[in-house]
Amino acid sequence: MRAKYERLLEYLAASDDWVTAGELADRLGVTTRSVRSYVTSVKTAAKPLDVVVSSTSGYRLNREAYASFVAGLRTRDGAGGSPRERVHLIIRTLGDAPAGVDVYDLASSLYISDSTVEADLRRAKVLVEEAGLSLVRRGSTVTLDGTELNRRRLLSRIFRDESAQGFLDLANIQREFASENLGAFKSDLLAMLDEQGYFVNEYSINNVLLHVAIAVDRVAKQQSIEPAEERAVSETIREIAERLDGLVRDHFGTALGIRELTYLSVLLTTRVLTPGHDQPTETVATTYLDPADLEATRRIIRLASEEYLVDLDDEDFIVRLGLHIRNLVARAQENSYSRNPMTRSIKGSYPMIYELAVFIASQIQRREGIVINDDEIAYIALHVGSYLERQNLREERVSCAIVCPNYYDMHEILRAKLEAELGAELQVEVVITRADVDWAALSADIVVTTIQAPLSGENVVVIQPFLTAADFEAVRRAIATVRRHRRRTQIKDELLQYFDERLFWRNLAAPTEAAMIRTLGDAMVTLGVIDESYVEGAIERERMSSTAFTDTLAVPHAMEMSASRTAIAVVVNETPMPWGENRVNVIALIAFSESGRKAFQDVFDQLVEVFSDRDDLQRIVRGATDFPAFIDELVHVMDA
């Protein structure tokens, strides 16, 4: 029974909020009755621990009880509570035993049958071979065969797989590899890198610390990386290796070999560090970037700017991205990608920025002959998104009227504080110092007032005469609301005009993502909206990175805007279909024309935003029995 509810627990562990039975059923591909059965099984198995909390809002994990439950399973079952955990334990055991392990002894130590351990070994074989290693069987003895470097990469992978979604937890690494000084080591490492003038990627630093902990642990077990042919390394790698050697000796009392120190230094420079923290852009470009690579980055950014109508022509941005691309190419060539705990949220919250990153990644792939995965695309999206945020390209300041009856200079102090805190987002148009206000005449986007107003609404904010943190937060919420309504109003009519009754289906099944894209694409080809090359382009884009931008919506499309007109073919299914790692109810194939470029970003973002709210989605799925009903429900949700 444990195997049945393991995925349910994993999904709850990845969510910070209540999760409804319907959402769990959709995610797991089962009925709500099965979900209730799984929850009951969990509660029975975990007694007296209350692992899953139930309410009218759905289910939520009691994380403290869950941690105790998992720890109990590991203790009871030889640290192998679930099949996956047993497989990982078997791999770690084989890695610590150069002479091999007897399968019958292994089964006995794990308190499982001989047939179960054989099944676990078959599962382990898949992970082992993916890491470039192999399981060798001689009678009842099994050994793990391959290089020490690949063994460490495998250990790193299975540890990350065991960790909850998100950032690697330093405490878990310390506990797993008995590296009590890892936290202090990290602090000294960061101080050393800052002193050397490096930007540090905090999203990836713990991944490298995991490799440090593994290296120290393996060397203590007399398992060092094999000597290799002497390869020339840069002065930077050599310098970092020397400083790393001192830190490791100080904190762990261990002397790593030059091969291991070099390997860890390469990981740092390709995954975590960007040079030139305190240097001018021109100096960084000439010192750290090959001129041909920098020119290639400029060309890619020009193409992206032209294709998506955004202004990315900034030398500092291009140079910093060029440094990132340099490291990305080095990682891809070693098939050693950086994990990004923000991938899922970036993809769902900023689909257009992610799509721009996909375009940039596709150009890098073609030039370098490498493969770029979703995590690495999300890092590119962070570069692009942070630059666009700084430029504030899409958001205009919101107009504001301040109502503050005159008392000495209180209204002036109030205005000064608002502009100091929110001046980048707020434009104060008028300050009214009278108590008898003509409220109906106020035309500003929001009204900030120290007295009660006869009007009410999200754009009226009543504050204290002396602003508090809560007041500032209330004004920020009002600004966000105005921007959201403004954006929706601007594009609602535009979005609706792209739908066509001939391109709407309800409960349309397809065996694969490619098959669904072909079905929708063929209908668009018949109507003369696109040609076959667009369909193939959409399938190619899908192979690069799943277009399931939320748990319930997929938006397949090609990266070329070659349609004769902009149109959206949409499928609304009551039963979700697998799409990448998600199960989606709505599939919207978008075809954009050259003339529709300006609308692309807003329409794309709005479509994802509309379907990202599960309640809104369920309303549309239930109510969209035909095309007119679909449009009615869509308008209702957008106006809400």
Q: Topology of 2-75 in CATH? A: Arc Repressor Mutant, subunit A (1.10.10)
Nearest CA to 152 out of 223, 50, 88, 46 is that of 223
Within this chain, domains 2-75 and 398-492 share the same CATH topology: no
**What is the spatial distance between Cα 83 and Cα 89, in angstroms, rounded to a whole number?**
10
What confidence tens digit (pLDDT) does each residue in 167-221 have?
A: 567 777 887 777 778 889 999 999 998 888 888 888 788 888 989 999 998 888 8
Nearest CA to 264 out of 189, 221, 200, 209 is that of 209
Using only the alpha carbons of the chain, give its radius of gyration. 28
Coil, strand or helix: which one is 553?
strand
CATH code: domain 170-275 is: 1.10.1790
User: For domain 497-639, which architecture applies?
Assistant: 3-Layer(aba) Sandwich (3.40)
- Count of residues for the chain? 640
**The tokens 């391109």 sit on which residue?**
503
Structural domain boundaries in the chain: 2-75, 79-146, 170-275, 281-391, 398-492, 497-639
**DSSP H helices in 227-342:** 235-252, 258-267, 281-288, 291-308, 315-333
CB under 8 Å to 223, separation ≥6 — which residues? 95, 96, 98, 148, 151
**The tokens 């099965």 sit on which residue?**
34
Q: Residue 577 pairs with which residues in a beta bridge?
A: 584
Band (pLDDT 50/70/90 cuts) for residue 162 is low
Question: Which tokens hold the place of 516?
Answer: 């669904």
For the ranges 163-172, 265-274, 497-506, 522-531, the lowest mean pLDDT is seen at: 163-172
Assigned superfamily of 398-492: Response regulator (3.40.50.2300)
Nearest CA to 534 out of 561, 553, 571, 513 is that of 561
Nearest CA to 566 out of 525, 594, 604 is that of 594
- Give the per-residue SS3 of 239-265: HHHHHHHHHHHHHHCCCCCHHHHHHHH
Coil, strand or helix: which one is 60?
strand
**The tokens 């807003």 sit on which residue?**
602
What confidence tens digit (pLDDT) does each residue in 229-253 have?
A: 556 678 888 899 999 999 999 999 8
What confidence tens digit (pLDDT) does each residue in 407-445 have?
A: 778 888 999 999 898 887 888 999 999 888 888 889 899
Q: Topology of 281-391 in CATH? A: PTS-regulatory domain, PRD (1.10.1790)
Run of H or E including 408: none
What confidence tens digit (pLDDT) does each residue in 344-382 have?
A: 878 877 888 999 999 999 999 999 999 999 999 999 999
CATH code: domain 79-146 is: 1.10.10.10
Band (pLDDT 50/70/90 cuts) for residue 81 is low
Q: What is the biggest distance separating any 2 CA atoms in the chain, rounded to whole angstroms?
A: 95
CA 428-434-435 angle, to 5 degrees, is: 115
- Give the per-residue SS3 of 180-206: CCHHHHHHHHHHHHHHCCEEECHHHHH
Please report, as a single letter, which amino acid is at residue 103: V
Report the percent of the chain where pLDDT is more than 70.
91
Q: What is the mean pLDDT of the chain?
A: 85
CA dihedral (44, 49, 51, 57) in degrees, to 10, reads 90
Question: Which tokens hold the place of 130?
Answer: 């993916």
**What is the spatial distance between Cα 274 and Cα 316, in angstroms, rounded to a whole number?**
13
Phi, psi (deg, nearest 5) at residue 297: -65, -40
Nearest CA to 546 out of 556, 560, 558 is that of 556
What confidence tens digit (pLDDT) does each residue in 271-298 have?
A: 888 888 778 888 888 888 999 999 999 9
What confidence tens digit (pLDDT) does each residue in 544-596 have?
A: 999 998 888 999 999 888 899 889 999 999 999 999 888 899 999 999 888 77
